[in-house]
Amino acid sequence: MSIEVVRLHPERSDLGYAFGGREPLLTVKPGTVVELTTEDCFGGAVRGVDDLPSRVCEFPYLNPVTGPIAVEGAEPGDTVAVHFVDIRPTRDWAVSTTFPHFGALTTTHTTAMLHDALPERVWVYDVDVDRGVCRFHARQGDFEVELPLDPMHGTVGVAPAAGEVIMSITPGAHGGNMDTPEMRAGTTAYFGVNVPGALISIGDGHCRQGEGEVCGTAVEAAMSTVIVVDLIKGASTAWPRLEDDEFLMSTGSARPLEDAFRISQHDLVGWTADLLGLDALDAYQLVSQAGLAPAGNVVDTNYTMLAKLPKAILSGAVVFDGVHSRLRAAGARYQSERG
């Protein structure tokens, strides 16, 4: 049986800037492969060091997302799975910037201080997909260095609960702008469904990012991305979960950062208890000794932490009947068919 493949290449006028409040651009059956393209977080408007975002971008038309994609049969109380088969920068350059009142080491509108904003500055990276690197050029002096490409999407999620419409820059229980480097090819993301169709949107591709995304932006790039979408009926998922070949990952997005940490760890403890049939305190103990806890972002309107557990210690327990392996295999099949 061949895999169904559909394409979603939105026009600029079709881009979204929020989760919720929008009709689907596309409806797909569970199991479908979607080839899609995304613009960068500046809508492609920052193309050189003189294109200051505060001048060339217009609030709130920032962080455009491609979607929503409706999944047939998805109802509140279900979970949708989004497996990333491929994420590939479409240009040979990418950009990063400081932006007034945005970032972890600057006064912001929330951490409000009497300082003037830090200077706004743009960095243009050379991107070489074949060699798998992007090149940083210092703006002062001539320091340069190549960094490995590790393409990912900062923004992936579904329509929120309670009819809310949430700017694409905000991460939360619906996913959104979690800005974690773990959202790379090979990862399956699980989201609880809040509205019929789930309404998945994806954007904010990064050639790579550090954990925490401390200056506020990553190596921002337009992407050509392939996903496989699936549906798990009757399984609710309170906060986005990720899975790759090595790790289970829970996310939490909140402020202060310790609450993001608490949400993610609480979720991972419950997940571990469920998978292994453990008492909550036993799972708490096991996660405490075996888990990892990297920052996603510490700059957005909510901060994101991840809680990771190596699958090696799960004694073979599998999530949702092995959906990650199945989607990974489907992705491989798609890739071998495309050549």
**Closer CB to its own copies, residue 226 or residue 283?**
283
Among 305, 319, 323, 330, binds its own copies (CB under 8 A): 305
306: β partners:
251
Query: Which range binds its own copies by CB under 8 A, 29-37, 48-56, 213-221, 324-332?
Result: 213-221
Within positions 27 to 56, which residues make up the interface with its own copies, using CB under 8 A? none
Largest CA distance in the chain: 63
**Closer CB to its own copies, residue 14 or residue 337?**
14
**Closer CB to its own copies, residue 56 or residue 214?**
214
Contact indicator for 148, 135 with CB cutoff of 8 Å:
no
Within positions 233 to 252, which residues make up the interface with its own copies, using CB under 8 A? 238, 252
Within positions 181 to 210, which residues make up the interface with its own copies, using CB under 8 A? 208-210
The DSSP code sequence of 60-111 is T--S-EEEEEEETT--TT-EEEEEEEEEEESSSEEEEE-BTTBSTTS--SSS
Q: Which residues contact 4 (CB under 8 A, 6 or more apart)?
A: 28, 29, 31, 32, 33
Cβ at position 137, least distance to its own copies in Å: 9
**Closer CB to its own copies, residue 33 or residue 95?**
95
Per-residue contact string for residues 261-300; x = within reach of its own copies by CB under 8 A: xxx-xxx-x------xxxxxxx-xxxxxxxxxxxx--x--
Cβ at position 2, least distance to its own copies in Å: 40
Cβ at position 90, least distance to its own copies in Å: 19
Among 256, 321, 336, 339, binds its own copies (CB under 8 A): 256
Q: Two tokens at 15? A: 């881009």
Q: Two tokens at 143? A: 């320091």
101 binds its own copies (CB under 8 A): no
Using alpha carbons, select from 59, 69, 261 the residue that is nearest to residue 156: 69
Contact indicator for 251, 306 with CB cutoff of 8 Å:
yes
Among 189, 215, 229, 330, binds its own copies (CB under 8 A): 215
Query: Which range binds its own copies by CB under 8 A, 5-13, 38-46, 160-168, 228-236?
Result: 160-168
Among 135, 167, 224, 320, binds its own copies (CB under 8 A): 167
Task: Report angle CA 25, 26, 32 to the nearest 5 degrees.
Answer: 155
Cβ at position 308, least distance to its own copies in Å: 8
Q: How far, in Å, are 3, 8, 146, 296, 327 from residue 243 at the CA level?
A: 22, 25, 29, 15, 11
**Closer CB to its own copies, residue 266 or residue 324?**
266
Cβ at position 306, least distance to its own copies in Å: 10
Q: For residue 296, count other CB atoms closer than 10 A to its CB.
A: 30
Q: How far, in Å, are 55, 102, 115, 212, 301 from residue 170 at the CA level?
A: 22, 13, 25, 15, 5
Cβ at position 18, least distance to its own copies in Å: 6
Question: Radius of gyration (Cα) for the chain, nearest Å?
Answer: 19
**Closer CB to its own copies, residue 96 or residue 225?**
96
Query: Which range binds its own copies by CB under 8 A, 82-90, 105-113, 223-231, 325-333?
Result: 105-113
Question: What does the buried/exposed string (b/e) look like for 88-119 if buried means 16 or more CB atoms within 10 Å of the residue's CB?
Answer: bbbeebbbbbbbbbbbbebbbeeeeeeeeebe
Within positions 111 to 140, which residues make up the interface with its own copies, using CB under 8 A? 111-116, 118-119, 121, 123, 136, 138-140
**Closer CB to its own copies, residue 98 or residue 188?**
98
DSSP H/E element including 326: helix 323-338
